[in-house]
Amino acid sequence: MKTSKVGLALLLVCCVWAVFIVAGCTKDEVDTTGTIYGIVNDADNGEPVSGVYIVLNPGGKTANTGSDGRFEFLDMEPGQYTIQISKNGYKTNTKRISVVAGEQTSGDMVLERGESRIKLSTNSLIFAKGETSKTFDIMNIGTSGSVSWSVAFSESWIKIAPVSGTTSQGKSSTVVVNIDREKITQDVTANLLVEADGESMPVAISVKFGESEGGGDEPSEGKGSCGEIVSCDSEVKMEFLSCVKNADAVEFQFLLTNNREDWQVWFNRDQSDGVDDKGNSYPGYNTKFYVGNSDSFVTNGNAVRFMKGVSTKCRVIVPGIKNEASSLQRLDWVISSSQPWNPQVKKITFTEVKW
């Protein structure tokens, strides 16, 4: 009997160790995502900058720096990203980074004091199957003088003309982006960086190699789709609902949810504008923006109120859409003023709105 008890004890010990080893192995799983972390400092004095608005692309994730200037993005898929940072009184800055599974990637950046002198007509270019050429504009929005700029990229399948130039105050320069399809064998993405006068801004490039099986990239019939909505503030959430075309007018709807205190906003139609995928422009003074159930569209003079925590349905009607167009490449809706608080950026941007 004693021998049997000893044998049983040894057997139990072995079983416990086996369970422990198996459990230990199952915990040691391979990480499939990475982390982006960083701190934003003032370029002049090196101090951390709080309240910086951060946009991560692709994906459109946003964040704000804390009082220590720090930010973080967790559970990121491996790949190439751009981090764009902005704050009133500073020039916009952008950085390209690579995320590796199981690793932390530093996104430390600096902001230079001053106002932005350039604006881009779009922050993304999407090439459908067979498309090889698209354009975007670099606009000098400074108050005086010319601004010199350059376009940085590293992919061999992209050709840019021109890669640098100088644009006079109040004028714009057109940049042509050509794709060499003989050098790609699958869907590809890349980021251009437009650098000028101490600031940099990204243009995301997406190229479709072939048709997606099952039409997964096509919008649902009658519903349309939206590639991205860049909100004016991280606490103002935007959700695309639908987009339809009737005759030559396009109407799309979205939900806006204000998660800060009650907010009164004045929009500026005259400064708002859009462009379709064929390069045709649509001035904001022709576009109509409706909020809630109102039958009256928003004008420059009347204010709109968004209550805290309430989702408000909005709709935009863009008339005079050209027959050859299949989407609105970009539409900016500009905020002229607001109270009692100001958004991080004074516009809402819709990109790749399809009907």
Residues 86-133: tens digit of each pLDDT: 888 898 899 889 999 999 999 999 999 988 888 888 778 888 887 888
CA max distance for the chain: 100
Rounded to 5°, angle at Cα 148 from 146 and 150: 155
> Class assignment of domain 34-111?
mainly beta
Residue 243: predicted pLDDT:
93
Kindly report, residue by residue over 163-201, the tens digit of the pLDDT. 999 999 988 898 989 999 999 999 998 889 999 988 888
Q: How far apart are CA 34 and CA 23, in angstroms?
A: 24
pTM: 0.50
Q: What are 242's two structure tokens?
A: 């639908």
Kindly report, residue by residue over 263-280, the tens digit of the pLDDT. 999 999 999 999 999 999
Cis peptide before 283 (omega within 30 of 0): no
Please give the share of the chain, as a percent, with pLDDT higher than 90.
51
More confident residue, 42 or 134: 42
Cβ-in-10-Å burial (0-12, 13-18, 19+) of 6 comes to exposed
> Class assignment of domain 118-207?
mainly beta
* SS3 of 303-329: EEEECECCEEEEEEEECCCCCCCCEEE
Residue 11: predicted pLDDT:
57
- Has residue 294 got a pLDDT over 90? no
Please give the share of the chain, as a percent, with pLDDT higher than 70.
88
Cis peptide before 78 (omega within 30 of 0): no
- Has residue 216 got a pLDDT over 50? no
Query: At 20, phi and psi to the nearest 5?
Result: -60, -45
CATH code 2.60.40.10 region(s) in the chain: 34-111, 118-207
The CATH label, of 2.30.30, 3.40.1350, 2.60.40, 1.10.8, for the domain at 219-354 is 2.60.40
- Has residue 215 got a pLDDT over 80? no
- Has residue 9 got a pLDDT over 90? no
Q: Per-residue DSSP letters for 231-248?
A: -SSTTEEEEEEEEEEETT
Residue 221: predicted pLDDT:
42
* SS3 of 195-235: EECCEEEEEEEEECCCCCHHHCCCCECCCEEEEEEECCCCC
What is the average pLDDT across 134-143?
87
Residue 6: predicted pLDDT:
55
Residue 24: predicted pLDDT:
52
Q: Report residue 211's pLDDT band, with 50, 70 and 90 as the boundaries.
A: low
- Has residue 331 got a pLDDT over 90? yes
What is the average pLDDT across 133-137?
85
Q: What are 71's two structure tokens?
A: 């930010």
Residue 234: predicted pLDDT:
87
Q: Compute the mean pLDDT over every residue in the chain, rounded to the nearest whole number.
A: 85
Residue 148: predicted pLDDT:
95
